[in-house]
Amino acid sequence: MKIAVVGFLHQREDKRVMRTVRALSNLGEVTYLYWTEKKENSCSSNGVKYVPFLHKIQRGHPLREWNSRKKHEYEMINHLINHEFDIAYLHHYATTRTLAPYKALKKKGTTIITDFHEYVPEEYLFGTLIIPRFFKNKMGNYLYKALLKLSDGVIFVSKYMQKNALKSEPDLKSLWIPNYGNFTINPHKKNERRREIVFIGKIQRRMEKEINIIKKLLKNSFEFTILGGRSDFCTEKTNIIPFVPYEEMISYITKSAFALISYDVKDEKGRSLLNYIYSQPNKFYDSICAGTPVILDKRFEEMRSIVERDNTGLIIDRNNIEEASKLILNTWENGSKYNALLKNISERQEHYCWDERKEEQFLSFVSNTHKEAKKR
């Protein structure tokens, strides 16, 4: 069986994409098409053929970026449809030619499985501020519904996205796979940890309230570290650790007191963003897999339900700065409360980590989807 995995605007080592590449290599010969910002050559390794497509993002120049991405996506789609594949597994989507690969692959009888990382009606052209939001949402909603209809199977990162899609497509063959961690580390004892709160990734969203919470904690001898990004987030006391390999990142998190997952879930005009409210980012699963409790704002509904179920972190109200900082400080200072979180994490870590059973479920879904598609 020949399988194409396409990472639209995802680089080669993206955790979620690479997981599917490795897993699908158990079903057949995999060709992995991915985006790169530097020149790379095609190569083969462990039964996978890696095919890079160059595209340098034109930051601050939306028209140039559109034209550049259009050329990039054309080349990627051309490669996809001009080669023979039994299954096309598509991560994300082509922004400038969204439906083109689907229509071409349908004509060829290729089984199409789409892995949605975001809620498309809201995410489509999200960063392009010169286009009114209502137009982007309308276009995104049209494309999203078309992608659902053209896909033989769909995988969602969010349960909300899955339930929402099934309302419009009740017969949709779908599977929920969140951003599981790669491996687990048994939680370190409290006395082996730094009195530190870590934030994983770039500071891209509005975090004014979090700044004030952190400032209060800094006055109580906490440290704050941004891991894998650069920012003037808080004060000169903020530690910045640039990007490090995944294993090193997990190793660092495991010695921190807490991992912070909190930011504004509304845009600059105060409108709620479903992509934030129902998000389940890598940092959430990675932190628990590293054995470290999370600090989570209550407005993240899907993550909140998981933390409340498993008691693996603290739920705060980012708007109540005094209460949030007190809860964090008191939990750390109270050994029994903090140790209870560590115990819960230790007992439930497997739910947050990719493993053989989850991979078998994934491969079964792909195989069954392909078999059913061939019968049509």
Does a structural domain hold residue 21?
Answer: yes
Q: Is the distance from CB of 199 to CB of 252 less than 8 angstroms? A: no
> Which pLDDT does position 300 carry in this prediction?
97
Q: Is residue 54 exposed (0-12), middle (13-18) or buried (19+ Cβ within 10 Å)?
A: middle
- Number of structural domains, the chain? 2
Residue 225 burial (CB count, 10 A):
18
Does a structural domain hold residue 11?
Answer: yes
Same-domain status, 37 and 159: yes
Same-domain status, 158 and 24: yes
Same-domain status, 159 and 204: no
> Which pLDDT does position 128 carry in this prediction?
79
Does a structural domain hold residue 185?
Answer: no
Same-domain status, 151 and 275: no
Same-domain status, 114 and 263: no
Instruction: Compute CA distances 349 → 286, 294, 343, 344, 355, whole Å.
Output: 10, 13, 10, 8, 11
> Which pLDDT does position 242 carry in this prediction?
84
Same-domain status, 103 and 160: yes
Does a structural domain hold residue 359?
Answer: yes
Same-domain status, 244 and 290: yes
Query: In the structure encoding, which two tokens stand for residue 16, read together?
Result: 């979620």
Domain span including residue 113: 2-180+355-375
Same-domain status, 58 and 170: yes
Distance CA 289, CA 185 (A): 6
Q: Tell me the three state secondary structure of residue 138.
A: helix
Same-domain status, 45 and 114: yes
Q: Is the distance from CB of 217 to CB of 223 less than 8 angstroms? A: no
Q: Is the distance from CB of 35 to CB of 9 less than 8 angstroms? A: yes
Chunked in runs of 10, what are the mean pLDDT values of the chain (376 residues)? 96 95 97 95 95 91 90 96 97 95 97 96 84 88 96 97 94 97 97 96 80 93 86 68 91 98 90 92 97 98 97 97 98 96 98 98 98 90
Same-domain status, 254 and 170: no
Same-domain status, 117 and 236: no
> Which pLDDT does position 234 carry in this prediction?
56
Q: What is the CATH number of the domain that holds 244?
A: 3.40.50.2000
Same-domain status, 245 and 260: yes
